[in-house]
Structure 1
Amino acid sequence: MEGTVDGFRYGAVTPVAAYVMACLGGALGLRCIVRSLLNTDSWRAGWLALGAVSIGCGIWTMHFIAMIGFQVEETRIGYDVGLTVLSLAVAVAVVGVGVFIVGYRAAGRASLALAGVVTGLGVAAMHYLGMAAMQLNGSIVYDPLVVALSVLIAIVAATAALWAAVTIRGFLTSLGASLVMGVAVSGMHYTAMAAVSVHVHGTTSSWAGDAPTSLLLPMLIGPVIFLVLAGVVVMFDPLLVLGDGEWNRPAPEERAATAKKPASRSWSGG
């Protein structure tokens, strides 16, 4: 029989919370990428890795917060722990590939296109792997056209986000880009969920697993704490705090060397 699917069990609470987490992960990731481009001699790989993990955690957290609001009235829903954790690892790893492509190959069209496709496919892979982790008394069926649309949205969103990371320097403009990224990522998720229909096996549920919140809420604690700590690192980094006017100024050593050169010329001329 066809199951009755409801993606908004708790009303606007889960979509809004999911959007906030997507924006937070996107904002931190974009700022980390910007930081790696501002000073390429200052642990670039570390900043890119932090950005990749921030974006991956933000997307993963967004997905599973949104899934707390998903229910099928005729059956209970649970999640396989292994696949749920694997979806987080895939999100971080594949997003990391895209971030490092941009970080080390600069902002050429080919690099952005490649990084956007890889990152977008990573976001989509995370989503559908997370869906594969669902356990219920039935089978999930997808509309292929809507699935293809969700993947396209993921690729476009990822490309736009990476473009913003390498072209936008100001804090407010980066914040605006992260808000747009949150809309795109959330839009991808709910587009993908629109492709879902559930065929329930029988009229009563034979699966008696735990409620989704009993697994998802504890698992969400780790990524949320990481995002908070990453936010602290980004907030207190001097290069990001100084602002646009300070980023392009030479380092103190360079300014000192520059100041000495005119004096040297003046002495030799006398």
Structure 2
Amino acid sequence: MKTILMTGHLGLIGRYLTPLLVQQGYRVKGFDLADGTGDICRSEQLKQAISGVTGVVHLAAVSRVIWGERNPELCWQTNAIASEQLLKTACEQADVKPWVLVASSREVYGDSDVLPVCDSAYVSPVNIYGQAKAYMEKKALEAREYGLNTAVIRLANVYGCTKDHKDRVLPAFCLNAVNNADLRVDGRNHLFDFTHVSDTVKGLSLVIEQLENNERNLPPTHLLPGIGTTLGEAAEMAIKFAGSRSRIIEAPSRNYDVSRFIGDPTQAKELLGWQANISPEQGIKLLVKAFQEQLQEVPA
């Protein structure tokens, strides 16, 4: 049985990707600060964990833009420097080098003048989170010169789980709508390409299949539906599907946020045979329903 090391396996994506990979016949070796199995900022732990694995799915990160702004040093150390160390460690494996899939972000594009954004668009991040991810991408592609098979996959506003951080935008909207609480919208007209977690992990599993088949030189690719939804529209959907009395409270946008992004999903379809099956409207409806069911399970 082939073993895959998954950093950040207890995060949103890892919780859904792990059972899918197990179902496909892999053994998943978790490496996460949350349960003490590993800290990517500790090189000795990385060396021990990576030994003998077939591949690495690198999800561990300071995973939110706002957290990066609050602690830019930690964001850079974790998302850039520790990721670079992981790639170096993989390159140094004496026997067979594992393939490495790094999870990047649409934040690397920054505020693009042209929508939809194609995968090959110029990388121009506007915040420390995006800058650190862009650095990681650069190092992942450079590692190919040393024989490491790498893939860079850019994720876009992944959502769909009630166990996600409650202040992420869609979980916050859906939970507040279910509870008839006000929905705070930081930039009502900000436009994003929301991707359901079930679609995301299917795409990642297809990338892993390519890497397992020794497909090399995959270009950086984003996984997204290619459907733009404003924050105002998303908030209204959550209220509608919850049958809620919630109000929308508008707040000014944050100066470190990308304000508009829609991606072109063509490359993922052509390279991987992947396309999103769940639209943002369907996904918000599903998430509202999940929060409603969770609320009903709580004893009075």
TM norm structure 1: 0.29
Q: Name the structure with the higher strand share.
A: 2
Q: Name the structure with the higher helix share.
A: 1
- Kindly indicate whether structure 1 or structure 2 has the higher relative contact order, using CA contacts under 8 Å at least 6 residues apart: 1
TM norm structure 2: 0.27
Which of the pair has more CA radius of gyration?
1
